Structure 1
Amino acid sequence: MADIILSRAAEIPDQLRIARAKSSPNLGPRILFFSGGSALNDISRSLKSYTHNSVHLITPFDSGGSSQVLRKAFNMPAVGDLRSRLMALADETELGQPDIFRLFTHRFPTDADPDTLNKEFRSIVHGQHPLMQAVSQPMRSLILTQIKAFDARRPKDFDLRNASVGNLIVAGGYFANDFNLEPVLFIMSKMVAVLGTVRAIVDDNLHIGAKLENGSVILGQRELTGKEVPPLPCPIQQLFLTNAHNRLPREAVRLPMRNRRLIRKSDVICYAPGSLFSSVIANLLPLGVGATIAERHVPKVYLPSLGTDPECPGMDLADQLEAILSALKIDAPEHVANPALVSTILCDETLYTPQIAKRLSRLGVQCVPTLLHKAENPHQYDPNKVCDALISLS
């Protein structure tokens, strides 16, 4: 009975912390995520009810999907994951900019002929499309400036099928701002009233590569994920950055000071669900990430993906943690303790076993078994349960 009373008493501060965050999300904690892809988007949408101060450092190294089309045409960083996170964090109420949100999330049809696609694109560029007409001035003119910058560079054979209008606007802003992502991300954040901060981990046009345990080398994020290509034959031994031609030394790519400041001000650091190597560890490769994380004395949480990650053949939860720690320790202070880099694993009950907990304990990392998955699908996180857990740690 005493144990039950103590357990319930321990829950009370967590419940109060959650209630306080929900009542004043503008004063909510600064939860910082290292992520990429769409795995965190549903959680991000729910997080807006808890805090307007979350920070999302996103990898711009994607080379698949719609980002692949833009990267091939313009030799530029990937913008799709950045745009989708901006939209996930946008204020979708009438207090925000719902008309701009609808424009940015619109995609061209996948089955239309080139003439139909070009006709719709021209109507957007000339401000005649209903979605563009719905945007009030002066925002419409500002958006048109970005899309026209894209149009001025667009190859005649550019494939518009399934293209996101938001991605094209970001690309245009990238060109209009001297090939820098940071200014256009700032502008778009203001346009859709983003309730948080979204930044690329670095503002560079780079790719990722991997050395596998069998000694082979694979270049490009698309080749690693097992989504558009066959799965990897064996685990990844090491991830690295490349300029598409040569492997770059770690000191060649440095974490920008603006992102160091965000890490230093964070209340919780979270290694988010998603493809372990191309979405999470890719963000840890720039010089300075591990050292800056080690400096900050806050909870540092790994929230592993549910289900199967094609990038992790034969790897269990402890192996995944060791991969994260290895990437961080390359530039962390010598002899840094593991908890200074990852202190806790929020482990859904479907992933937890006593054997895994024992291995994690040997690594000095606390494993917290928690019911986090959706009732109807054990392979998907319940966004509200995850947000409750993260806020409780803040």
Structure 2
Amino acid sequence: MLFLQPIRDKGLPVPDTKSLPRVTISRTVTLPDPTRAALYRRAPEFGPKLLFFSGGTALRHLSETLIDYTSNSIHLITPFDSGGSSAVLRKAFAMPAVGDIRNRIMALADRSITGNPAVFDLFAYRLPKDATQEELAVRFGRMITGEDPLVRRIPDPMRKIIRTHLHFFEQRRPPSFDLRGASIGNCILTGGYFNYNRMLDPVIYLFMQLVEARGVVRPIVTADLHLACQLENGRVLLGQHLMTGKEAAPIDAPIAKLWLVADLDDPTPATVRIREKTETLIRKADVICYPYGSFYSSLLANLLPQGVGDAVAATDCPKVYIPNLGHDPEQRGLTVAGQTARLLGALEGGCVKACRRDDLLRFVLVDSKKGRYENPLDLPGIRRLGVQVLDVSLARDDNPDQADSRKVAELLLSLT
């Protein structure tokens, strides 16, 4: 693929690669491969398409590191968040959660002087929590008119676009909407959502252009749905915020089942299918990574929509699972082998066509020497599932219960 971009730049016709013969080539790689990483670092615009199914903030540091090596990473984000500021927005506007999408775009943004640091600062800003609603409404109004310093320092036409989206947000903001702690980036995304007739893709694309994000960020689906789960003790929880242990007490029994619902007051399962453009993104991946983060509400949640498993199975590239090195309340009672089995089960459950397990997951990356895994690794159990274990250096030297972003990035790059 590296020859295609220069040809486009010269205005010459691009070869029709669909009609060309294809072959499968196997090779032996060194993990990590410093030479390959160095090559990508010299020309990140030609970097590989590393695809991640994720959500939340767990991949923020990795995403910030990735832009040193590739401008082409793909991030499929769960839009089912029901906690924090996303809950306020979703309740007020009946829309998918945009907070995790904004976080990932910001992590991929060009923060250098050649980027748009003024736009980045505005999108990352949150209104103070200790001001009155009247004071915040006045401040927000000054942002809409362009008088606020954070908006005023942004050059046109970007400033006009941002003000327009804030105006759309303000027009639809209910009088009871609490502005305390509101993310301006989320407000801009929400305003754009209404400006584009409740379509997320156009405003996400515009948002990414404004901050010069180095990669692709998309919600796995754009439907207004929520997560539900049943614990092994029979208790049913409706809402992602009840599973993570952050806004409610940690779950008191392992999660037995996960599904989607249309309403937080109704446990009836809802179905949704990924769009063709999402399937195309998956099929273009050079590596598919199931990364660390909240195991159910971030990772497995992305695999619930129909079509994900089939798209993954049809993609001829390495598929890698990187478990959490430290504590995750959602993984109660699960060894890493148990997590791997649940991951495979979620993928296989999403496959209409018969497929081999190694078409869904080939490798599990662990760090048995330094990782502070909450439950036993059970490496033989992973191998019995037909998955290859790669025992490599992943943990941070100063904080072994977290992954080192540079190490993870270079390991994934080595598989391309």
Shorter-chain TM band: over 0.9
Alpha-carbon distance, 1:313 to partner: 0.9
Deviation for aligned residue 1:12: 8.9
Aligned twin of 2:395: 373
Distance 1:79 1:105, change over 3 A: same
1:223 aligns with 242
Paired residues of 2:29 and 2:415 also in contact (CA < 8 A): no
Gaps of 5+ in 2: 1-27
Indicate yes or no: 2:192 matched with 1:173. Answer: yes
Deviation, structure 1 residue 336? 2.7
Q: Distance in 1 between matches of 2:316 and 2:266?
A: 36
SS at match of 2:288: strand
Q: 1:337 to 1:199 in 2, by over 3 A?
A: same
Residue from 135, 142, 162 that aligns with 2:161: 142
Instruction: Verify the 8 A CA contact 2:372 2:401 in the aligned structure 1.
Output: no
Would you say 1:151 and 2:170 are equivalent positions? yes
**1:260 and 2:282 aligned:** no
Structure 2 equivalent of residue 73 of structure 1: 92
Q: Does the C-alpha gap of structure 1 residues 338 and 132 become closer, same or farther in structure 2, counting only changes over 3 Å?
A: same
Q: Kindly state the Cα deviation for residue 354 of structure 1 after the two structures are TM-superposed.
A: 9.5
C-alpha spacing 1:199/1:354, structure 2 compared with 1 (3 Å): closer
Equivalent residue, structure 1, for 2:48: 29
Give, as a single letter, the amino acid of the residue that structure 2 aligns with 1:78: A
CA distance, structure 1, for counterparts of residue 158 and residue 256 of structure 2: 47
In the TM superposition, what are the counterparts of 1:119-138 in structure 2 within 5 Å?
Answer: 119-138=138-157
Q: Pick closer, same or farther for the CA change 1:33–1:301 going to 2, 3 Å.
A: same
Displacement of 1:115: 2.6
TM-score, length basis structure 2: 0.89
Q: How big is the shift at 1:248?
A: 5.9
Residue 387 (structure 1) aligned with residue 409 (structure 2): yes
Shift of 1:187: 0.8
Structure 1 runs of 4+ with >3 Å offset: 9-13, 245-250, 351-355
Structure 2 CA distance for aligned equivalents of residues 73 and 325 of structure 1: 36
Indicate the residue corresponding to 2:313 in structure 1.
294
Percent of paired sites with the same residue: 46
* Pairwise CA distance, 1:109: 1.1
CA separation in 1, counterparts of 2:186 and 2:257?
A: 30
Q: CA deviation at 1:351?
A: 5.5
**Structure 2 residue identity aligned to 1:305:** N
Return closer, same or farther for 1:247/1:288 CA change in 2, 3 Å cut-off: farther
**Alpha-carbon distance in structure 2 between the residues aligned to 1:205 and 1:121:** 27
Q: Which amino acid aligns with 1:382?
A: D
Deviates more, 1:343-352 or 1:135-144: 343-352
- Other structure's SS at 1:379 match: coil
RMSD, aligned CA: 1.8
Secondary structure of residue in 1 paired with 2:325: coil
**AA in 2 matched with 1:296:** T
Equivalent residues of 1:240, 1:248 under 8 A apart: no
Higher helix share: 1
Residue 210 of structure 2 aligns with which residue?
191
Instruction: Tell me the number of residue pairs that the alignment of Structure 1 and Structure 2 aligns.
Output: 385
Matches of 1:226 and 1:322, distance apart in 2: 23
| More displaced stretch, 63-72 vs 334-343 | 334-343
Q: 1:112 to 1:249 in 2, by over 3 A?
A: closer
Gaps of 5+ in 1: 1-8
Q: Specify the code of the residue in structure 2 equivalent to 1:34.
A: F
User: Which residue does 2:77 correspond to in 1?
Assistant: 58
**What is the deviation of 1:214?**
1.9
In 2, Cα distance between equivalents of 1:334 and 1:159: 47
- How far does the alpha carbon of each residue in 1:70-90 deviate from its partner, in whole angstroms, 9 at most, with x for none? 111111110000001000001
Contact 2:189 2:204 in 1 (8 A): yes
State the alpha-carbon separation in 2 of the partners of residues 328 and 13 from structure 1. 27
Q: For each residue in 1:105-142, what CA deviation from the matched residue of structure 2 results, as whole angstroms up to 9, or x when unmatched?
A: 01111222223222221111111110100110111111
Residue 240 of structure 1 pairs with residue 281 of structure 2: no
CA displacement at 1:306 relative to structure 2: 2.2
TM-score, normalised via structure 1 length: 0.94
The aligned amino acid for 2:243 is: L
